[in-house]
Amino acid sequence: MKKIIFYSYLKCSTCRKAAKWLENNDYEFQLFDIVKEPPLVNYLNLALEKYSEVKRIFNTRGKAFKTLDLDIDCLSREEIIQLLLSDGKLIKRPFLIYEGKKVILGFNEIEYAKQLK
């Protein structure tokens, strides 16, 4: 069985759907509150490598992001990581790590099934 690390936010309905999908499909996962314990730097780097468009890593529909008054496309990789670590609500969620080196952001049943099989 693949080791799954699952960063979630309790009030996020998409995170709850993703967790329920994992449970219903008999996947065991280690759960972290993305606000209290944001993903490790190496996991954020994995996400930046996978998703070439920086905005994909941010929770662009959340209040925390909307209150930012900066162009994230002008930030360096270091600045992006520091910004994400400063507020877990800025990070796209759920944030799932599997096999220690693969990332899935957000929740899509088809993508989860395909990636986790």
pLDDT digits (tens, 9 = 90+) for 32-55: 999 999 999 999 999 999 998 899
- The yes-or-no verdict on residue 3 having pLDDT over 90 is no
Mean pLDDT, rounded, for 5-28: 96
For residue 32, what pLDDT is reported?
A: 97
* CA pair distance 85, 83, nearest whole angstrom: 5
Instruction: Give the number of other CB atoms < 10 A from CB of residue 87.
Output: 17
pLDDT digits (tens, 9 = 90+) for 91-115: 999 999 998 889 999 999 999 999 9
Q: Which CATH number fits domain 4-116: 3.90.1170.50, 3.30.479.10, 3.30.200.100, 3.40.30.10?
A: 3.40.30.10
- In the chain, the DSSP E strands lie at 4-8, 29-33, 95-98, 102-105
